[in-house]
Amino acid sequence: MLLIRCPYCEEERPELEFRNAGEAHIARSANMAGESDDDFEKFFFIRSNPKGIIYERWRHMHGCARFFNAVRDTVTDKFIMTYKAGEPKPSNLPKISNEVVAK
């Protein structure tokens, strides 16, 4: 079970309190009705499904109930950071080594 830091509660809480809500930073068009078929396809159907760093949405369902964003490594399942909804996609990720060198 993962530990996830809620950026609103400013606490690490167990995964049981959270729900994943899919990929982050997919903006809904301000002119939705005018979107082309291609643009709508990209918006609604296409997801990056990366091996490695993913930007995704979570909801602190059984806590403050807020939606927020997280950066997670899909290979190691490690969270690199979490941040509030509406904040820009972070460009400089803090370096987190996936592996601790042999002790």
Partner 1 sequence: MSGAFRIPGAGRLKQAKTARFNFDGQAYTGIEGDTLASALLANGVHLVGRSFKYHRPRGILSAGAEEPNALVEIKRDAARKTPNVRATVQELYDGLEAQSQNRWPSLSFDVGAVNDIASPLFSAGFYYKTFMWPKAAWKSLYEPKIRAAAGLGVSPDQPDPDHYSSRYGHCDVLVLGGGAAGIAAALAAAETGVRVILADEQAEFGGSLRFETGAGIDGQDGFAWAQAAIAELQGMDNVRVLSRTTAFGYYAQNFVGLVERVSDHLSTPGHDLPRERLWQVRAKRVVLASGAIERHMVFADNDRPGIMLAGAARTYLNHYGVAVGRQVGVYTANDSAYAAAIDLKKAGVQVAAIVDLRDHPTGPVIDEARALGIEVNFGRAVIRAGGKLRVSSMTVQPKNGGGERTIPVDAILMSAGWTPSVHLFSQSRGKVAFNDETKRFVPGTYAQDCVSVGACNGTDGLSATIDEAYAAGEKAAKDTGAKTVKSNRPKVDASESWSRGMLGAAPGAGPDTTVKAFVDFQNDVTAKDIRQAVHEGMRSIEHVKRFTTNGMATDQGKTSNMHGLAIAAEELGKPIPEVGLTTFRAPYTPVTFGAIVSHARGPLFDPTRKTAIHPWAEAQGAVFEDVGQWKRAWYFPKAGEDMHAAVDRECVAVRKTAGLFDASTLGKIEVVGPDAAKFMELLYTNPWEKLEPGRCRYGIMLREDGFIYDDGVVGRLAPDRFHVTTTTGGAPRVMNHMEDYLQTEFPHLNVWLTSITEQWAVIAVQGPKSRDIIAPLVEGIDMSDEALPHMSVREGKICGVPTRLFRMSFTGERGFEVNVPADYGQAVWEALWAEGQKHDAAAYGTEAMHVLRAEKGYIIVGQDTDGTVTPNDAGLDWAVGKKKADFVGIRGMARPDLVAKGRKQLVGLKTKDPKVVLEEGAQIVEDPKQAIPMKMIGHVTSSYWSENCGRSIALALVAGGRDRMGDTLYVPMPNGVIEVEVSSMVFFDETGGRLNG
Tell me: does residue 28 bind partner 1 (CB under 8 A): yes
Distance CA 4, CA 9 (A): 11
**Residue 21, C-beta contacts closer than 8 angstroms, at least 6 positions apart:** 56, 57, 58, 59, 67
Tell me: does residue 44 bind partner 1 (CB under 8 A): yes
Tell me: does residue 77 bind partner 1 (CB under 8 A): yes
Candidates 10, 49, 91, 102: give the one binding partner 1 (CB under 8 A): 102
Distance CA 82, CA 10 (A): 10
Binding site for partner 1 (CB under 8 A): 1-3, 14, 19, 21, 28-29, 32-33, 35, 37, 40, 44, 57, 59, 61, 65-67, 76-77, 85-86, 98-103
